[in-house]
Structure 1
Amino acid sequence: MEYLEFEQPIKELQEQLSSCRSVGEDNGVDVKQACKQIEVAIEESKKKIYSNLTPWQKVQLSRHPSRPYSLDYIYAITDNTFIELHGDRGFGDDKAMIGGMGKINGTPFMIIGQQKGKNTKERQYRRFGMPNPEGYRKALRLMKLAEKFNMPIITLMDTPGAYPGLEAEERGQGEAIARNIYEMLNLTVPVISVVIGEGASGGALGIGVGNLVYMMENTWYSVISPENCSTILWRTWEFKEQAASQMKMTPNDMLELKIIDGIIGEPLGGAHYNPAKAAESLKEQILKSYGELKRLSGAELKRQRQDKYIAMGEFSG
């Protein structure tokens, strides 16, 4: 387990617990009571730390290297039926964007998400979860396929942004994201979108136009990352914590601003402490949301989604 800077008190207690257990095993001494006291201290420390997280600390948790990614959740919530589909039928297959069909409690869904890597080699392979234009075009192809067969869509957002490379711009990154937003507003099947990690900029919004949109508890959703915001305003990353606080990017902020429809709780300490429990919470919310949306006709789903986004922001003539 990797620990973030603000988690160091928990790390120290965990090391004490490991040492206590080792002493008992090596010397045949009964240390149950001593270990129990440390376990209680760990639990109290977790409650104290995680109940008072700053926006920047939530950003750090959203990037935790042990946090579950899209494929982890997909395999956990589907009935061992997920079939990944590849390619945009135009340029290639983007490994940063994954998608395919899978059943959840017997109901078929088209599931699309951004995928990061768990080690250096896999991160390079997945381009750190930053899709190229062909990734967004693959996602759109799968959404249109789902619409053709009247299949509900789930999208899982977890990206630091769309890939900013020259080749991405040459192949029409901006157009691909804009096209997805336009087409998603006109889909006639239920769309449920969830921010499971980082929800950065158009990179996330390119698959995030849903009838119902949720954020997991320790995630963020914004037009720009705190570091880049700090760089633009102060020409340095040093004010990233201040930027995170001012940007209103946490789940509670997004819910208050009516950008999202709800927050999905995580295990104490974050999804990486208990991925199975986090996946179960995600699954419950998806099934509940689908139960609400499946009552609507295609035209009603389209209108509800369009009205949802038109209502965001304020306009004056």
Structure 2
Amino acid sequence: MASPNRKTILLDFEKPLAELESRIDQIRQLAEENSVDVSDQIHQLEARATQLRQEIFSTLSPSQRLQLARHPRRPSTLDYIQAMSEEWIELHGDRSGSDDPALVGGIGRLAGQPVVILGHQKGRDTKDNVARNFGMAAPGGYRKAMRLMEHANHFGMPIITFIDTPGAWAGVDAEKLGQGEAIAYNLREMFRLDVPIICTVIGEGGSGGALGIGVGERLLMLEHSVYTVASPEACAAILWKDASKAAQAAQALKITATDLKELGIIDRIVPEPEGGAHANPIKAAEQLKQALLECLEELMSLSNQQRREMRYQKFRQMGIFAEELA
């Protein structure tokens, strides 16, 4: 997983930081060419850059976090698998004539523990995105995921899922092939599996497409990922007939990891490196792996019945509210 060139793809709020870092590089280069000692000035500018980076990424709005979650250079499911697993064998097909490239999965080892890992897979460029259908899985993708989870359950291997999709594919063909049924079947069946299930939102968790592989005892979110019932653009178009109000919708939807942790939807926020996961993919993978191993150790100590009950109660408690008398 190579480090991306951050100069090629910059979000609006990253530009002041990029300009300062570029200025530091120019001063350092000029100093070397002219044999001038400017180490004190460089240290001051680097300290300012560090401070600016912290200020920017600690005060991001929900819409800015959404931009980070959709960043073209953000690590994908296969990136994390490559960085975290000692062994990896991808498995293909739903055994009904389909092999959806938008949802990948297989068998790997995590710190020596055999696991089944699966998740949505977006492309890195336009051509790859078209081939992967922008991470929007078809019914065959969810059926492939269920086949792999059944395999994990049969052989006693924990299941780890990575969620990163704008939503399930909503095309006419997807509806003809039973998109709703495929996702609903996964939701029901995941509740009965005996093995540990840990789900992580690594980028954009959108609607039923995310839920189709999102039922587990533990739901984690990377710090700058988002999880939502509908995209802010779709929400704005529905509520205000104006997609330009997406930022307002993002604020109201409570899509960030911090909001969802407070609401009890997710269990843990996994910190990202300064500048987001795309700034240092290797470190992001190390931090996610550590979080997964800690959750796995806890869940492996429980009985099958305890894990199923934990899973059930987790989702039963979502949406509880209290009414105040006028």
TM bin, normalised by shorter chain, reads over 0.9
* 1:29 to partner: Cα distance: 3.5
Contact 1:217 1:265 (C-alpha < 8 Å) held by counterparts: yes
SS of 2:114 mapped into structure 1: strand
* 1:24 to partner: Cα distance: 2.9
**Structure 1 consecutive aligned stretches of length 4 or more whose deviation exceeds 6 Å:** none
Contact 1:96 1:135 (C-alpha < 8 Å) held by counterparts: yes
Residues 86-125 of structure 1 deviation map (CA, whole Å, 9 limit, x = unaligned) = 0101021100101001101110010011011111111111
The answer to whether residue 160 in structure 2 is matched with residue 154 in structure 1 is yes
Match for residue 274 of structure 1? 280
SS of 1:155 mapped into structure 2: strand
The code of the aligned residue for 1:69 comes to S
Equivalent residue in structure 2 for 1:67, among 74, 81, 87: 74
Match for residue 32 of structure 1? 39
* 1:32 to partner: Cα distance: 3.2
Q: How does 1:51-200 map to 2 (within 5 A)?
A: 51-79=58-86, 81-200=87-206
Task: Kindly report the root-mean-square deviation, in angstroms, between the aligned alpha carbons of the 2 structures.
Answer: 1.4
| Residue correspondences, number | 315
- State TM-score, norm by structure 2: 0.94
The answer to whether residue 297 in structure 2 is matched with residue 291 in structure 1 is yes
Question: d(CA) in 2 for partners of 1:69 and 1:204?
Answer: 15
Contact 1:177 1:202 (C-alpha < 8 Å) held by counterparts: yes
Match for residue 231 of structure 2? 225
The code of the aligned residue for 1:299 comes to Q
Gaps of 5+ in 1: none
Question: d(CA) in 2 for partners of 1:108 and 1:122?
Answer: 29
Question: d(CA) in 1 for partners of 2:121 and 2:35?
Answer: 46
Gaps of 5+ in 2: 1-5
Contact 1:87 1:93 (C-alpha < 8 Å) held by counterparts: yes
The answer to whether residue 261 in structure 2 is matched with residue 255 in structure 1 is yes
Task: Give the percent of matched residue pairs that are identical in Structure 1 and Structure 2.
Answer: 50
* 1:240 to partner: Cα distance: 0.6
The answer to whether residue 227 in structure 2 is matched with residue 210 in structure 1 is no
Question: d(CA) in 2 for partners of 1:77 and 1:4?
Answer: 28
Question: d(CA) in 2 for partners of 1:226 and 1:181?
Answer: 24
Question: d(CA) in 1 for partners of 2:299 and 2:157?
Answer: 12
The answer to whether residue 303 in structure 2 is matched with residue 303 in structure 1 is no
Question: d(CA) in 1 for partners of 2:39 and 2:170?
Answer: 54
* 1:247 to partner: Cα distance: 0.6
* 1:40 to partner: Cα distance: 1.6
Match for residue 3 of structure 1? 10
Contact 1:192 1:286 (C-alpha < 8 Å) held by counterparts: yes
Question: d(CA) in 2 for partners of 1:177 and 1:23?
Answer: 59
